[in-house]
């Protein structure tokens, strides 16, 4: 098993995610995971007020890809990305 890469700032010092970002990453990942587990295509369309269509099919597929992709990162890595994305915002 390989060790995860350490995120570094521009001066090569390791960064730690803020608690706020870490909590946000955990809550978001858990909510998407739970939603994905509980809904099917019809319920997805109902929630987003979509009529079954090619567009709705595509949106549902994107959602499933999102849910799958989130499982590939731990909360710490997601939180670091959140923090990095907010640095200049």
Per-residue pLDDT of the chain (89 residues; tens, 9 = 90+): 444 444 455 445 557 999 999 999 999 999 999 999 999 999 999 999 999 999 999 999 999 999 999 999 999 999 999 999 887 55
User: Count of domains in the chain?
Assistant: 1
Asked if 32 and 66 count as a contact pair (C-beta separation under 8 A), the reply is yes
**Is 10 within a domain?**
no
**Is 73 within a domain?**
yes
pTM to 2 decimals? 0.75
**Is 6 within a domain?**
no
Supply the pLDDT for residue 89: 54
**Is 1 within a domain?**
no
CB atoms inside a 10 Å sphere around CB 64: 13
**Is 11 within a domain?**
no
CB atoms inside a 10 Å sphere around CB 51: 7
**Is 28 within a domain?**
yes
Range of the domain at 53: 19-86
**Is 12 within a domain?**
no
Cβ burial 8-44 (10 Å sphere, 16+ → b, else e):
eeeeeeeeebeeebbebbeeebeebeeebeeeebeeb
């Amino acid at each position: 098993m390989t060790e995860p890469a350490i995120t570094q700032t521009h001066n090569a010092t390791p960064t730690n995610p803020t608690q706020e970002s870490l909590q946000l990453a955990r809550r978001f990942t858990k909510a998407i995971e739970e939603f994905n587990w509980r809904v099917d295509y019809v319920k997805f369309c109902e929630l987003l007020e979509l009529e079954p269509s090619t567009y709705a099919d595509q949106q549902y597929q994107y959602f499933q890809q999102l849910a799958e992709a989130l499982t590939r990162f731990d909360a710490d890595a997601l939180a670091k990305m959140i923090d990095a994305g907010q640095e200049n915002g």
